[in-house]
């Protein structure tokens, strides 16, 4: 699940919810994005304006819960290309200037007063001409020696200050605690992602797919916005959650961890601020809102044989692109409410990279879940997953999560003495709800289970033989990715 998860087919959303297109594990380094061709405006037609011209541009798989694998999810359906149109026109001709010149009537003869008036008028004209001449001379003499622009008064302030609650205020406080991560494998492959300071000991939280290339002896570095760059090492990574923790080598003593919010209290419509390095452009800030909650999302890091990651995501329309992966999603107060991880995107690439960009559908791992995972990784070096102890179908469905007849590798579909077995669940049962959350497929069930911790008690609603049943179940645990 990447904001990023660049270039990979993202599993279609179970049922109604959209499932993001998976992008490659890391965004390209270097290079200048190609903005694409610029549409040319049509020439202005001569003569009277006419009407504006229009220019159109135009197999199912099974999975033992807690260890997702198999052919699911299937590739997303092709997306159509929206049309583009543009109109142009010309303005009308201007009218004539004033009326015809009228010859003044002849002045009456003689008269000293008339002569005096004439003299005064002549003097005024001479004075006016003299003033105009002086004005021109002064302007010419001062040309290039000054500015004709008007500068706002400083009012004694040495710099502009932004209130803490503004986007600029939040960004200025959060940016120093974010890093751009570069990961490189032994073979030289790798990419760029983002992370943020988790504690004063030098731990950085990011996505698993951002650091995946550097896990087995590769190179890893983190660069702060002020240019300070540190080598780093992977402390632990959780492929299923798509969360990883790295630690800076020779970490500085002035680290300021970002404050963590409460993702359970997030509401649709709340403002969001995303920080990352889209397409390698470090320290980029974008804004939006929470457009949906509890969105079931499954995606992969794009590597061969990679397994899917699952989350019940926060959906945002803040612009998120390849390279934003692992970066913080902040609320209006600057607290982290999620980790940017995946995007829904069109199938065609852009920017000259073959990668698709944001269409306003980004997904973040809720910080309450990510915090728990990060703490487990720092403590044990391995992730701990909650489980029900049953194998469920990963086929796309709208009816629920069906317990399969047989588990992975010939194992039993319902783990003997496991949580599901103790609750009386059997092969063929279809789970339709977990507590109050509707379950429409196996992947949705996995995402929801993983928002809980081992030992949590949940209420499971399922159907068997056309009848609906509800049982209480205590979640078990599994250590490490499998």
Active site members: 209, 242, 325
Q: Tell how far CA 309 is from the center of its chain.
A: 18
CA distance 3 to 23: 7
Distance CA 183, CA 222 (A): 9
What's the rounded Cα separation, in Å, for the pair 259 and 266? Answer: 15
Local structure of residue 93 (DSSP, 8 states): P
The answer for residues whose C-beta is within 8 angstroms of residue 374's C-beta and 6 or more apart is 198, 203, 205, 243, 245
Contact 275, 175 (CB under 8 A): yes
Look-up: residue for tokens 């807690």?
66
Q: Which token pair is 360? A: 């306003």
CA–CA distances in Å: residue 137 to residues 130, 143, 405: 10, 10, 98
Tokens for 389, please give them. 């102890």
Phi, psi of 131 (to 5 degrees): -60, -45
Question: Which residues face 284 on adjacent strands?
Answer: 276
Rounded CA Rg of the chain: 33
The most distant pair of C-alpha atoms in the chain lies apart, rounded to whole Å, by 130
């Amino acid at each position: 699940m990447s904001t990023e998860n660049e270039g990979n087919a993202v599993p279609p959303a179970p049922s109604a919810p959209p499932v993001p297109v998976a992008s490659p594990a890391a965004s390209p380094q270097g290079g200048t994005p190609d903005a694409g061709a610029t549409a040319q405006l049509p020439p202005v037609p001569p003569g009277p304006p006419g009407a504006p011209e229009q220019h159109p541009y135009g197999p199912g798989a099974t999975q033992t819960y807690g260890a997702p694998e198999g052919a699911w999810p299937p590739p997303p359906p092709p997306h159509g290309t929206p049309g583009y149109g543009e109109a142009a026109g010309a303005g009308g001709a201007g009218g004539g200037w004033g009326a015809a010149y009228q010859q003044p009537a002849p002045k009456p003869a003689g008269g000293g007063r008339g002569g005096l008036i004439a003299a005064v008028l002549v003097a005024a004209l001479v004075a006016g001409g003299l003033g105009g001449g002086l004005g021109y001379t002064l302007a010419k003499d001062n040309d290039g020696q000054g500015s004709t622009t008007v500068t706002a008064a400083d009012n004694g302030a040495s710099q502009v200050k932004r209130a803490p609650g503004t986007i600029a205020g939040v960004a200025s406080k959060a940016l120093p605690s974010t890093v751009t991560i570069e990961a490189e494998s032994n073979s030289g492959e790798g990419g760029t992602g983002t992370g943020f300071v988790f504690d004063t000991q030098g731990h950085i939280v990011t996505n698993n797919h951002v650091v995946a290339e550097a896990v087995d002896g590769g190179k890893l570095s983190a660069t702060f916005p002020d240019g300070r760059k540190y080598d780093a090492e992977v402390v632990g990574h959780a492929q299923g959650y798509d969360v990883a923790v790295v630690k800076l080598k020779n970490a500085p003593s002035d680290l300021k961890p970002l404050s963590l919010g409460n993702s359970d209290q997030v509401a649709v419509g709340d403002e969001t601020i995303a920080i990352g390095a889209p397409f390698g452009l470090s320290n980029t800030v974008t804004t939006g809102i929470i457009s949906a909650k509890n969105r079931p999302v499954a995606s992969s890091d794009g590597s061969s044989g990679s397994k899917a990651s699952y989350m019940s995501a926060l959906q945002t329309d803040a612009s998120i692109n390849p390279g934003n992966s692992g970066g913080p999603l902040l609320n209006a107060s600057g607290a982290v409410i999620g980790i940017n991880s995946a995007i829904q995107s069109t199938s065609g690439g852009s920017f000259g990279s073959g990668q698709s960009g944001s269409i306003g559908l980004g997904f973040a791992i809720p910080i309450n879940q990510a915090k728990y995972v990060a703490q487990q990784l720092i403590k044990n070096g391995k992730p701990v997953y909650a489980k029900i102890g049953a194998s469920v179908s990963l086929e796309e469905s709208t009816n629920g999560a069906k317990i399969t007849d047989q588990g992975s590798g010939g194992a039993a579909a319902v783990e003997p003495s496991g949580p599901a077995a103790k609750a009386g669940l059997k092969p063929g049962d279809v789970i339709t709800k977990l507590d109050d959350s509707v379950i429409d497929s196996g992947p949705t069930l996995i995402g929801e289970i993983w928002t809980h911790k081992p030992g949590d008690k949940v209420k499971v609603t399922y159907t068997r033989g056309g009848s609906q049943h509800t049982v209480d179940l205590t979640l078990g645990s599994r250590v490490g990715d499998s």
